[in-house]
Amino acid sequence: MLLAELGKTSSQLRDMALLALPCGLRAGEIFNLKSQDLDFENRLITISDPKNKESRKAFMTNAVKEMLLARVTGKPDELIFKARNHHGRIKAISQAFRKAVDGLGFNKGISDPRQVITFHLLRHTFASWLALQGEPILTIKELLGHKILTMTQRYAHLVRDHKRNATLRLENLFNEKVEKQLQQVEKF
């Protein structure tokens, strides 16, 4: 719903949100993206100027790849997303994002600023989805580009079932081994 609403106002803002949600990029990382950072063959995005100063790779989904292919002009050092008024680097997310969120009523009745939907929440959603599908916390840390694991720990509570499933898989493996040994003993 949010992507559709953003598209009504700004295709560029919708595309930036599309990049943040399935790739976990920060707004500043999106603003800095250049054509040379995109490897369409391997579906990789190089984040060369991240917040923590350590470059990393993000992976393109099909939708992200299609969107980025449509935005690339061919000049390696050209920004993918440009400010409307001066065609240089964007400095901040447009107020159109807040207006779209408000128009959908997502922040209606929310007074706690920590609960308000912002552009950065798309990055948190990416991390939460990874945790909910059972990805290891270290994988989430690397995909987010966190320097220390403590930053990623906020998603650990979402990985509970993954831990439970790991224990159950171990139990199943153990039971299979015991069953095979019992079958061999019965043969003698």
Could you report the per-residue pLDDT of 60-99, keeping only the tens digit for each? 999 999 999 999 987 899 999 999 888 899 999 999 999 9
Q: 38 falls in which pLDDT band (50, 70, 90)? A: very high
Active-site positions read 26, 51, 120, 123, 146, 155
The mean-pLDDT minimum among 40-44, 67-71, 80-84, 184-188 falls in: 184-188
Mean pLDDT across the chain: 87
Could you report the per-residue pLDDT of 110-169, keeping only the tens digit for each? 999 888 999 999 998 998 888 888 888 888 888 888 887 777 777 776 666 666 777 888
Give the per-residue pLDDT at 50. 63
Give the per-residue pLDDT at 162. 64
Specify the pTM. Answer: 0.79
Structurally, how many domains does the chain consist of? 1
Query: How far is 8 from 10, CA to CA, in rounded Å?
Result: 6
Give the per-residue pLDDT at 138. 86
Give the per-residue pLDDT at 75. 87
Query: How far is 11 from 67, CA to CA, in rounded Å?
Result: 10
Give long-range contacts, CB 8 A cutoff, 24+ apart: 100-108. 100/2, 100/5, 100/6, 100/8, 100/9, 100/13, 101/2, 103/5, 104/1, 104/2, 104/5, 106/2
* Mean pLDDT, range 21-33, rounded to an integer: 93
Which residue type does 174 have?
A: F
Q: 54 falls in which pLDDT band (50, 70, 90)? A: confident
Domain of 137, in residue numbers: 2-187
Q: Which residues pair with 38 in a beta bridge?
A: 45
> Where is mean pLDDT largest: 42-46, 52-56, 145-149?
42-46
* Residue 42 belongs to domain with CATH number: 1.10.443.10
Give the per-residue pLDDT at 156. 73
Query: How far is 63 from 18, CA to CA, in rounded Å?
Result: 8
Three-state SS sequence of the chain: CHHHHHHHHCHHHHHHHHHHHHHCCCHHHHHHCEHHHEECCCCEEEECCCCCCCCEEEECCHHHHHHHHHHCCCCCCCECCCCCCCCCCCCCCCHHHHHHHHHCCCCCCCCCHHHCCCCCHHHHHHHHHHHHCCCCHHHHHHHHCCCCHHHHHHHHHHHHHHHHHHHHHHHHHHHHHHHHHHHHHHHC
Give the per-residue pLDDT at 80. 95
Nearest Cα to Cα of residue 11 among 82, 107, 106, 109: 82
* Mean pLDDT, range 13-18, rounded to an integer: 96
